[in-house]
Amino acid sequence: MGKLITFEGIEGSGKSTQIKLVAEYLSRKNVELVVTQEPSGTDIGRKIGSILFNRGHGHLCAEAEMFLFCAARAQHVREIIMPALEQNKVVLCDRFSDATYAYQGFGRGLNQEFIRLMNDYSAMLLKPDLTLLFDLPVEIGLERATARNNKLKEPAATDRFERENMDFHRRIREGYLDILKREPQRFRLIDAGRDVEAIQKEVRRCIGDFINLCD
C-alpha cells in the first residue's frame, strides 16, 4: 500500500501553496504521486462543492453540510485515493476527514461521535498515515485568503466558509489542535506564520523522512 498524507489547517494557512511546491519537489525525485483535494477531487465532488461553497446557501443546515462533505469523500476515496494507494502511490490530499471534525464538529457543534462514524463510513475506515497541520492565527489566515481572492480579481469568490465570523474560525483552529493532541503520532504541527520557503523546507523534511526519501 502507498501512503496517504493530508494537509489541514484553517482558511489561508497555505495548504494549497505548500502541497503544490512539495508535489513538484517529490515529482523531481521520481516519487509516484497523486495530488488531490477535498471536496473537489472528483467530478461528483466538484458538483457537491458548488453547493457547499455557494454564498447564496447561507441557509444550508449543518447536518446537510456534513453529509455533503462525507458524500464527496465517499466518492473521492473509492474513485481516486484507494486505487492510488493500491498502486503504492503517495497521495497528497488537501483536506480530509479531520476537516469534518474541525469544521462541522468544533465549528458547527455537531456530535463528534456521529461525525466519527460518518467519517469512517465514507472513508472506508481509511486514516491518513501522516497529517501536516498548518497553524497560524485566524486573523492572518483570513487576511491572506482575502488578499488571494482580491488578487484573482474575484473578491466575490469569498466562499460561504470565509464569510463566517472570527469565532467560527477560532473554533476550527482549536478543533484541529485538539485532534492533534489526541493523535500526536500522526500529526506534524507546522508554524504557518513564517515565509513560504521556510515552511516548504519543513514540509519537505517531514514528508521526506516519512517516506524514507534519500536526498
Ligand X SMILES: Nc1ncnc2c1ncn2[C@@H]1O[C@H](COP(=O)(O)OP(=O)(O)OP(=O)(O)O)[C@@H](O)[C@H]1O
Choices 21-29, 61-69, 104-112, 191-199; region in contact with ligand X by CB under 6 A? 191-199
Residue 6 binding ligand X, by CB under 6 A: no
Nearer to ligand X by Cβ, of 53 and 120: the residue is 53
Choices 5-13, 54-62, 67-75, 176-184; region in contact with ligand X by CB under 6 A? 5-13
Nearer to ligand X by Cβ, of 2 and 39: the residue is 39
Choices 26-34, 69-77, 123-131, 142-150; region in contact with ligand X by CB under 6 A? 142-150
- State residue 94 phi and psi, 5-degree precision: -80, 100
Residue 204 binding ligand X, by CB under 6 A: no
Burial zone of 197 (CB within 10 Å; 0-12 exposed, 13-18 middle, 19+ buried): exposed
Q: Which does 73 bind (CB under 5 to 8 A by kind): ligand X, Mg ion, none?
A: none
Nearer to Mg ion by Cβ, of 82 and 175: the residue is 175
Could you tell me the three cell numbers for 74?
465517499
CB of 161 to ligand X, least distance (A): 8
Name residues whose C-beta falls within 8 Å of residue 199's C-beta, 6 or more positions apart in sequence.
14, 18, 134, 190, 191, 192
DSSP secondary-structure letter at 123? T
SS3 203: helix
- Asked if the bond preceding 39 is cis, omega within 30° of 0, the reply is yes
Assess contact for 144 and 9: CB atoms under 8 A. Answer: no
How far does Cα 138 stand from its chain's mean position?
16
Residue from the set 13, 36, 40, 100 that interacts with ligand X by CB under 6 A: 13
CB of 140 to ligand X, least distance (A): 8
Question: Which DSSP helix (H) or strand (E) runs through 204?
Answer: helix 196-210
Nearer to ligand X by Cβ, of 113 and 195: the residue is 195
